[in-house]
């Protein structure tokens, strides 16, 4: 089980890094879990909430929010989120574009294109548990005052 202080440590370890962006780019990272509650009409409502505890096997959602606080557009914005060893990547969160992923921190692409080298020197197709970092590259300059967010799902190992 991971408690709130441990969650804070994991969050600190996964702080988003803005690279190749010049200017006042504010990036925040948060970890959320799904909370399911029964509604009066018999349906189930799902909300994303800050976790008070997380146990191995629990799904967590990482949200990277970004904002240009400057007066000029920011070009070539890349948001990179390294994953701690306790976290296994699963997929982009619904409504968020798929990130490029890396299994070595150097080469990024879709998971289907990546390979992992085994101890005996052979290679195999990379899987979600091999992902060490996720990254999004903004396709166009981020206008002054603009903001957005990306999210991905992961599991606590």
How does pLDDT run across 12-70, given as a tens digit for each residue? 444 444 443 445 899 999 999 888 889 899 999 888 889 888 889 889 999 999 999 99
Structural domains of the chain, with CATH: 23-156 (2.60.40)
Mean pLDDT of 76-87: 92
Tell me which of 10 and 52 has the higher pLDDT. 52
φ, ψ for residue 66 (rounded to 5)?
-135, 155
- Kindly indicate the confidence band of residue 7, based on its pLDDT and cuts at 50, 70 and 90: low
d(CA 55, CA 155): 9
pTM listed for this prediction: 0.79
For residue 20, the model assigns a pLDDT of 39
CA dihedral 14, 98, 101, 79 (to 10 degrees): -50
For residue range 88-133, list pLDDT tens digits in order. Answer: 999 999 999 999 999 999 999 999 999 999 889 999 999 999 999 9
- Name the phi and psi angles at 142, rounded to 5: -85, 110
Please list, in sequence order, all residues whose beta carbon lies within 8 angstroms of the beta carbon of residue 87, skipping any fewer than 6 positions away.
10, 14, 60, 154, 155, 156, 157
Q: Strand pairing of 2-3 and 44-49?
A: unpaired
Give CA 75 to chain center in angstroms.
21
């Amino acid at each position: 089980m991971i408690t709130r202080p441990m969650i804070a440590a994991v969050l600190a370890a996964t702080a988003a890094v803005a690279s190749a962006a010049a200017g006042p780019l504010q990036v925040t990272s948060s970890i959320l879990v799904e909370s399911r509650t029964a509604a009066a009409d018999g349906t189930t409502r799902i909300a994303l909430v800050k976790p008070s505890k997380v146990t191995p096997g629990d799904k967590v959602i990482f949200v990277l929010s970004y904002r240009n606080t400057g007066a000029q557009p920011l070009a070539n914005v890349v948001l990179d989120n390294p994953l701690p060893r306790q976290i296994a990547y699963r997929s982009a969160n619904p409504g968020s574009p798929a990130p490029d992923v890396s299994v070595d921190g150097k080469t990024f692409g879709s998971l289907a294109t990546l390979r992992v080298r085994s101890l005996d020197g052979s290679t195999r197709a990379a899987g979600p548990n091999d992902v060490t970092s996720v990254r999004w590259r903004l396709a166009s300059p981020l206008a002054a005052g603009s903001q957005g967010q990306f999210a991905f799902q992961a599991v606590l190992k």
